[in-house]
Amino acid sequence: MLASADSPHVDALHPSPNIEPRKPGYRPDMLLLHYTGMHSCEKAIDWLARPESKVSCHYVVAEDGTITQMVAEDMRAWHAGQSYWKGETDINSSSIGIEIHNPGHAQGYPDFPDAQMHAVTRLSADIVARHRISKTRVLAHSDVAPNRKIDPGEKFDWKRLSETGIGYWIAPEPIDKCGWSLGPDSRSEKVAEAQHLLRTYGYGIDVTGTLDAATGFVLRAFQLHWRPGLIDGRLDSSTLATLRMLIVGAQTADTMA
């Protein structure tokens, strides 16, 4: 099912058997970025190609920038798991998944090397252009599965991608360590506003006015992507201001692409 590469930037093919057709009516209109969370890229590719793993992805990007394709873009890879974005629950049918090799938070979470980021940027630009994926639909695994995932994490350079037209980025509001901050079980109109804005952008969240556990996970996911300076799942002035700016800017980001 993977006779040739879909992108000219691919260095190697390593087919995975963990694939199936996309559901009828679906096409790739989202790019989802992950990290492998394994000790080595070789082990990650091997695992993604094993039937018993029941996981796969379209591409893997090694630390040195080597790009391996594992699933054809027209097929449904098994990379998102249980997830949600803007009312859609079958993210695998509507997305292309890139696994970026990084051992992950549980194993030291090193920086993403420049060669790797350059490869991710080139590959993402090609995918986004060919499938006409909008800026606001270039997302993290943590965005679509905030209660389960934290990858690719706060060290991933979303700003660098956006500077080449991939994804949407805004400069986060500076953190005010002496300002207000709301934690678990807080009930406030500010919490309700944040929930409404997060839901408007695409996150799976209910507007209750209470900072329950589910809201904490979504706030953490938002911070991992757009306010990486402090990841605590709390609602503070910086998080809310950054979220407000995100929503306002996103209204024109895709039309200006």
Residues with catalytic function: 99
Residue 124 in contact with residue 166, Cβ under 8 Å?
yes
What's the DSSP call for residue 216? H
Q: Position of tokens 């099912």?
A: 1
Q: Kindly report the number of other CB atoms within 10 A of residue 111's CB atom.
A: 11
Take residue 81 and report the two structure tokens written for it: 């798991």
Q: What's the sign of the alpha-carbon dihedral 108, 149, 19, 73? A: negative
CA angle, 134 then 138 then 142, to 5°:
150
The residue among 137, 148, 138 whose CA lies nearest residue 217 is 148
Residue 133 in contact with residue 27, Cβ under 8 Å?
no
Distance of alpha carbon 207 from alpha carbon 215, whole angstroms: 9
Residue 194 in contact with residue 162, Cβ under 8 Å?
no
CA angle, 151 then 152 then 153, to 5°:
80
Distance of alpha carbon 178 from alpha carbon 128, whole angstroms: 41
Q: Kindly report the number of other CB atoms within 10 A of residue 227's CB atom.
A: 23
